[in-house]
């Protein structure tokens, strides 16, 4: 029984570059969430999917951010024209809607924008 996986674990990029992160949820989970965590803070919700449908996006998610979940399996989060303020840990979680609401988190992708 594998947990949530994320790739890459670390990404260093220069300001203005585009980056893409991948999340593979627990296989039977139909909900997938993206959160962002900055130093000293709790994770903040970005967006979530039920199967392939993106149901909500936070105001934190500017138009430089886009997320997809093709076929309701893995998800990608892309940041275009990165800014230094995008430096954070990007966390993915999954859950089973109709279950007991626990969200299981992956190890995160730490993004550093120089």
Partner 1 sequence: AQKVTQAQTEISVVEKEDVTLDCVYETRDTTYYLFWYKQPPSGELVFLIRRNSFDEQNEISGRYSWNFQKSTSSFNFTITASQVVDSAVYFCALIDYNTDKLIFGTGTRLQVFP
Residues in contact with partner 1 by CB under 8 A are 31, 33, 35, 40-45, 48, 55-56, 89, 91, 93, 95, 97, 100-108, 110
Q: Which is nearer to partner 1, 79 or 92 (CB)?
A: 92
C-beta separation of 94 from 25 below 8 A: yes
Q: Which is nearer to partner 1, 76 or 107 (CB)?
A: 107
Dist. CA 110–CA 114, nearest whole Å = 13
Dist. CA 84–CA 16, nearest whole Å = 9
C-beta separation of 65 from 35 below 8 A: no
Q: Which is nearer to partner 1, 45 or 74 (CB)?
A: 45
User: Cβ 62 to partner 1, closest distance in Å?
Assistant: 18
- The residue assigned the tokens 């999954």 is 94
User: Cβ 24 to partner 1, closest distance in Å?
Assistant: 14
Q: 45 φ, ψ to 5°?
A: -65, 135
Return all residues near 63 (Cβ < 8 A) that are at least 6 apart: none
User: Cβ 94 to partner 1, closest distance in Å?
Assistant: 11
User: Cβ 108 to partner 1, closest distance in Å?
Assistant: 5
Q: Which is nearer to partner 1, 42 or 70 (CB)?
A: 42
């Amino acid at each position: 029984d594998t947990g949530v996986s994320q790739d890459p674990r670390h990404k260093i990029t220069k300001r203005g570059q585009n980056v893409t992160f991948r999340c593979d949820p627990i296989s039977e989970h139909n909900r997938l969430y993206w959160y962002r965590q900055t130093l000293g803070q709790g994770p903040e919700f970005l967006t979530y999917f039920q199967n392939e449908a993106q149901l909500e996006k936070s105001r934190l998610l500017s138009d430089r951010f886009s997320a997809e979940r093709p076929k309701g399996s893995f998800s990608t989060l892309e940041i275009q024209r990165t800014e230094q303020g995008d430096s954070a840990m990007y966390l993915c979680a999954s859950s089973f809607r109709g279950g007991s609401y626990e969200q299981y988190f992956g190890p995160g992708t730490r993004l550093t924008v120089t």
